[in-house]
Amino acid sequence: MCDMSAKPQDALPIRLTVDDSDSPSDVVDALFLGRFATGEQPYSHSSTIDRVKPGSTLLPPDASVLRRAHDDDRSATLAEGEGWTLLVSRWNRGADVTVTAVTAELAEEIHRQATDGARDNPEPQPENVSMGFWYVSPRRGPHRTARQITAGAWDEVRPNYTAPVADALGRLMKVTPDDISGRLLLLHGPPGTGKTSALRTLARSWREWCQVDCVLDPERLFNDVGYLMDIAIGEDDGTAKGRWRLLLLEDCDELIRGEARHTAGQALSRLLNLTDGLLGQGRNVLVGVTTNEDLERLHPAVVRPGRCLARIEVGSLTRAEAVSWLNGQDGGRDGEGAPGPGGGWEAAVGRDGATLAELYALRRGTGPASVPAQHTNRDAGLYL
């Protein structure tokens, strides 16, 4: 049995040096490791809760609080009990809970008591979908946090895309695990054409069988083997085991353009290895990439047949489609954002159509009097 008179700071095997760059929370973190470092409490159990229920202390019964620190962006609480020590680090609505103890069973039991009923599960909304976000945290390393995002149903957002693109995206929305051949999903085209919006809707359409995670720092992912392995191994959202995962990498122009072998080093090879190489074997992982590059500038290894589940160029709406979109948004009446009394939307759209972003700007009244010529996608290569 451990000596409860010994405080964590007394158990530290090294001298703790503190300077003005360290916060009180940093000191609490260091004190917590003392009994684990000396082997007095050699077992630990930890978890992350993305949304903590309001009012939850994350402390088990009879816990004795030793330290409590509050910084601008987080708080830390150090507590102990018979044979165990607990650290609670909280930020915004989330928290990390870690327990060290004299036995593995005790660490798990104290952790269960601290977190039981603490997870906030808001009532699901039909238009919401859970999406994970991966990033490297300076404090915790590779880390995943989940958020509820709003995503429109496909029938609602279909008018945002020109006819051939809408047809290809519509087929993609209906894909099931039995339909999967290639592991790479590529959306490319000019900025403002709705690539990200399509991916949100895809997450909603696939939510019954696929967990969607967005990588916030893709430029680091394929240059950091440890980070890549953490994501390849994965972390599920707790709703089901063995589901597919879709990793979203946005605006990866430098990674997949034609000269990527020379400029990105091993990054491109690791991306391809994740989709159909040894790294991806035995793992139900899809990779979704968006880029503003033209198809002709993409690396041949990325766009070769058999690698892509879908390769879709998302371009501007035609002039007729753009005018129809604007009329459908405000019933064909001149109103706020309309080009002028009696002017009609036809006068606002150029002969080559408009991107989705330009249409929203026109509707809000922040767009130009006329939309400049845009690259169209009538000859774009797309398949599913």
Q: What is the CATH number of domain 8-115?
A: 3.30.310
Q: At CB < 8 A and 24+ separation, what contacts does 143-151 make?
A: 143/48, 144/213, 144/235, 145/48, 145/50, 145/94, 146/50, 146/237, 147/50, 148/122, 149/200, 149/203, 150/200, 151/127, 151/200, 151/201, 151/203, 151/204
pLDDT of the residue at 384? 46
What pLDDT shows up at residue 169?
96
Q: How far apart are CA 124 and CA 130, in angstroms?
A: 9
Across the chain, mean pLDDT equals: 79
Please tell me the predicted confidence (pLDDT) of residue 271.
72
- Extract the runs of DSSP E, i.e. beta strands, from the chain: 43-49, 64-70, 75-81, 84-91, 94-101, 128-137, 141-150, 184-188, 210-215, 244-249, 285-291, 308-313
Q: Residue 373's pLDDT is what?
A: 44
pLDDT tens digits for range 257-314: 544 444 445 666 777 667 665 555 667 888 888 887 665 555 566 666 667 888 899 9
Confidence of residue 145 (pLDDT cuts 50, 70, 90): confident
Helix 356-364 to helix 319-329 angle (10° resolution) is 40
Decide: helix, strand or coil at residue 199.
Answer: helix
- The pLDDT of 205-233, averaged and rounded, is 85
What is the predicted pLDDT for the residue at 342? 47
Task: Dump pLDDT digits (tens) for 156-181.
Answer: 999 999 999 999 999 999 999 998 88
What's the CA gap between 194 and 267, in Å, rounded?
26
Determine the pLDDT at residue 253: 62
Token pair of 197, please? Answer: 């919006």
Can you tell me the distance from the alpha carbon of 205 to that of 194, in angstroms, rounded to the nearest whole number?
16
Confidence at 144, pLDDT banded by 50, 70, 90: confident
Strand partners, 137: 141
**CA distances from residue 62 to 98, 114, 160 in whole angstroms, order as listed:** 17, 11, 58
To 10 degrees, what angle do helices 163-173 and 195-205 make? 30
State yes or no: pLDDT of 62 exceeds 60. yes
pLDDT at 166: 96
Q: Which residue carries 């709705």 as its tokens?
A: 194
Give the mean pLDDT of 139-155: 86
Segments making up each domain of the chain, as ranges: 8-115, 128-313
CA distance 380 to 383: 10
- Per-residue pLDDT tens digits for 71-108: 877 899 999 999 999 999 998 888 999 999 999 999 99
Token pair of 48, please? 């992350």
Point out the least confidently predicted range of 2-6, 31-35, 251-255: 2-6
Give the residue, 290 or 242, on which the prediction is more confident: 290
Residue 34 Cα to chain centre, angstroms: 35
Q: What percent of the chain is predicted at pLDDT more than 70? A: 72
Q: Confidence band (pLDDT; 50, 70, 90) for 243? A: confident
Paired tokens of 236:
């599920």
pLDDT at residue 364, rounded to an integer: 84
The tokens of 99 are what?
A: 């327990």
Higher pLDDT: 296 or 194? It is 194
Calculate the alpha carbon distances from 308 to 62, 89, 176, 181, 182 in Å: 56, 42, 15, 8, 5
The string of pLDDT tens digits covering residues 306-355 is: 678 888 999 999 999 999 999 887 544 444 455 544 456 888 888 889 99
The pLDDT-based confidence of 29 (bands split at 50, 70, 90) is confident
Q: Supply the pLDDT for residue 371.
A: 45
- Work out the average pLDDT over 63-69: 94
Beta-sheet pairing, 64-70 with 43-49: unpaired
CATH of domain 128-313: 3.40.50.300
